[in-house]
Chains A and B, each alone.
Chain A
């Protein structure tokens, strides 16, 4: 191979490798939406979908079965609120629409906006835990010292795998971001 041939071959291969690198960068960018879609489809990571109304209509209540739904709460650093569930658990039949309530209080001396992020465990159950109305769908604003009851309407889908008898719903309240 003479000098020019080799220079040309080198340049060609470098170009190909740059394409590989560009591909790896695109792949990384694509991973973010892919990851979110994957979590929503499979319920990985306890992420729950929000559109439950349509399913609610054509659903039969399974009276033969009980499921315990437990409620927990966290206030994340940077939010001067107290936040706790009024009931620690509810026993429900799959398919039956239920109401649960959390209570939040702003202990800061200024108006604060918060955003609750739900998570369901076991992750497998998150696909079958449906929220019809939830305080986590919007941001919540509390005046200084104000306390508010925050309702949540939900049901457990009758398709919930048989071995799951307890579902834990956890909310983390964050200081809302822009």
Chain B
């Protein structure tokens, strides 16, 4: 196993690293790997976005206009899998690769070769997931997985070829995340600069440490569940087949035992880096560091004992319903502590609203709406009404698009000057924020009302009374999708070296070891580890 210290040994001849495609295939450099993760994530974000625009186009009017219902079902499920596993998770891992060594004062990640493997499993996984779309064009199989991303049995036991492809894709994605997590945990524990105790570590590292632990504890459960699905489909087992003594509800338990912690796997890295941004643009130190660390832990631990709130309507006995309701709601206590800290960080700060700060501020509000609507769904009595409706769709887009992706965007704008050495176009950045925030709300607020009025999710057609809200939602979704091109433009122009040169510390209030390095940082980050007092 190669370790980071090998990087020292290579120092004298590091100019010889291979050029062109071989550089990327063989690289063990944390910044190269981080860049690959982030690039992959951006591409898959656009791919997943286009899929859902297909869905929104179909939902623009009642009736079936553009596609068969089967294809609609494929689009919604693959959209979710792509966005979660191929866009949001790689974005977080990309940031971990880029930033952890810089913030911890390390020369590189602890296990560079493992790191390379972790990334290169992703493109094949994405291909496996989407290949059935193409195969169907040639008459092979009936398209991609059409069960929704949750792969519920018995539908997924009966489904076509696409389910098998999705299962193998999930295996690869799972291995990739587990490898990434091992690397991150080892880096955080063993590679910190001398004097940086755990409780002096940046919050981003804390967020990721808990994410990594959640990943290695829950990804095996998902992998196990889909493997059982595979053997049910092809090898005559009956884990989820009632006729053979199995139980389809068991699949829901296994899936959500992974699925709920997954929500926090996606969010904790974002909660980690938002305080860095708030602190920089309020010119105040991070508020309530300890409280935030403890809240991370509390949420991480609670997240593995509340899974059944995703299927409260499945017919559980009342004591179980009450347990899952109260335990779910109790997560809002540590989350409220975090919200308090974020807002207190802004209190009486000398604030300025550059793009990262705009995104961070908007993020607090929108993620707050996501959290509050989650409380409604956790209520057993209310959930009977809202379960599987568009209310749920709107809720989790507030947590995952606003709470996840807009948070990541705040991070991209914040660290892009550090990564590329160039400033992005501030005007376009601000325009990107406002278009995103407005179009996002215009897309999903109508969906709350649709859900309250009883429109079910995952159905390609709807009753006439839902037409107006769907039209607003569809138009806004296209505006939302198109405004992301500004984001792409800003990133591409920085990467290609346009724009002003960025200072080593482009944000006056920013704190942390990464700002002590040049922009962009040297190929090997800290060849001499800094000492923290």
B346 at the A interface (CB under 8 A): no
Q: Quick check: is A55 within 8 A (CB to CB) of the other chain?
A: no
Question: Would A13 and B241 be within 8 Å (CB), given that A20-B217, A21-B178, A28-B254 are in contact?
Answer: no
Bound together, the chains give a CA A123 to CA B314 distance in angstroms of 11
B215-249 vs A: 1/0 string, CB under 8 Å?
A: 01111110111001000000010110111100101
**CB proximity of A92 to chain B, nearest CB, Å:** 23
Does B36 sit at the interface, judged by CB under 8 A? no
- Determine whether the beta carbon of A115 is less than 8 Å from that of B216: no
Q: Please state if B221 and A24 are interface contacts (CB–CB under 8 Å).
A: yes
Type the 1/0 row for A12-49, where 1 means its CB is closer than 8 Å to any CB of B. Answer: 01100110110011011101100110010011111100
* B86 at interface, CB cutoff 8 A: no
Q: Give the interface segment out of B1-9, B43-51, B327-335, B516-524.
A: B1-9
- A14 contacts across to B, CB distance below 8 A: 1, 111, 182, 186
Distance in Å from the Cβ of B411 to the closest Cβ of chain A?
26
- Given A28-B224, A35-B250, A178-B236: A42 and B317 interface contact (C-beta under 8 Å): yes
* Residues in chain B near residue A68, CB distance under 8 A: none
In chain B, what residue has the closest Cβ to A24? B220
User: Which of B5, B185, B218 touches A24 (beta carbons < 8 Å)?
Assistant: B218
Q: How far is the CB of A43 from chain B (nearest CB, A)?
A: 7
Contact B224 A25 (CB under 8 A): yes
What is the CA–CA distance of A76 and B190 in the complex, to the nearest angstrom? 56
Task: Quote the shortest CB–CB distance from B46 to chain A (angstroms).
Answer: 33
- Contact, CB under 8 Å: B217 / A24: yes
Binding site of A, secondary structure by majority: helix, strand, loop or mixed? Answer: helix
Which of A83-91, A98-106, A169-177 binds B? A169-177
When distances are taken between beta carbons in the complex, the residues of chain B under 8 Å from A29 are 224
Given B5, B243, B317, which contacts A6 in the complex, CB threshold below 8 Å?
Answer: B5
Whether B220 lies near A10 (C-beta < 8 A) is no
Question: Does A9 sit at the interface, judged by CB under 8 A?
Answer: yes
Pair A121/B315 contact, Cβ less than 8 Å: yes
Shortest CB–CB separation between residue B312 and chain A, in angstroms? 13
A/B pair count, beta carbons within 8 Å: 106
Q: What's the tally of chain A residues with a CB closer than 8 Å to chain B?
A: 43
Q: Does B253 contact A (CB under 8 A)?
A: yes
Which applies to chain B's interface (DSSP): helix, strand, loop or mixed? helix
Contacts A21-B220, A24-B216, A44-B316; is A10 near B185 (CB within 8 Å)?
no
Q: Give every chain A residue within 8 A of B8 (Cβ-Cβ).
A: 3
Among A17, A46, A174, which residue has its beta carbon within 8 angstroms of that of B243? A174
Partner of B1, one of A10, A27, A174: A10
B471 to chain A, nearest CB (A): 36
Q: A123, B317: Cβ atoms under 8 Å?
A: yes
Instruction: Check if B315 sits within 8 Å of A25, measured CB to CB.
Output: no
Residues from 181 to 200 in B contacting A, C-beta threshold 8 Å:
182, 185-186, 189-191
* CB–CB B247/A10 < 8 A: no
Given contacts A27-B221, A46-B315, A117-B242, contact A13 B247 (CB under 8 A): no
Cα A73 to Cα B163 in complex, Å, equals 30
Closest-by-CB residue of B relative to A172 is B242
A131 to chain B, nearest CB (A): 16
Q: Is the CB of A13 within 8 A of B189?
A: yes
Beta-carbon contact of A43 and B247 below 8 Å: no
Closest to B191 in A: A6
- Interface of B toward A, CB cutoff 8 Å: 1, 3-6, 8-9, 110-111, 178, 182, 185-186, 189-191, 216-221, 223-225, 228, 236, 238-239, 241-244, 247, 249-250, 253-254, 257, 315-318, 320
**Which residues of A does B touch, CB under 8 Å?**
1-3, 6-7, 9-11, 13-14, 17-18, 20-21, 24-25, 27-29, 31-32, 35-36, 39, 42-47, 76, 115, 117, 121-124, 172, 174-178
8 tightest A-B contacts by CB?
A174-B243, A28-B224, A3-B5, A24-B220, A7-B3, A25-B220, A177-B244, A28-B221
Given A28-B224, A31-B257, A177-B241, output 11 extra A-B contacts at Cβ < 8 Å: A2-B5, A6-B4, A10-B1, A14-B182, A28-B223, A31-B221, A31-B224, A45-B247, A115-B243, A177-B236, A177-B244
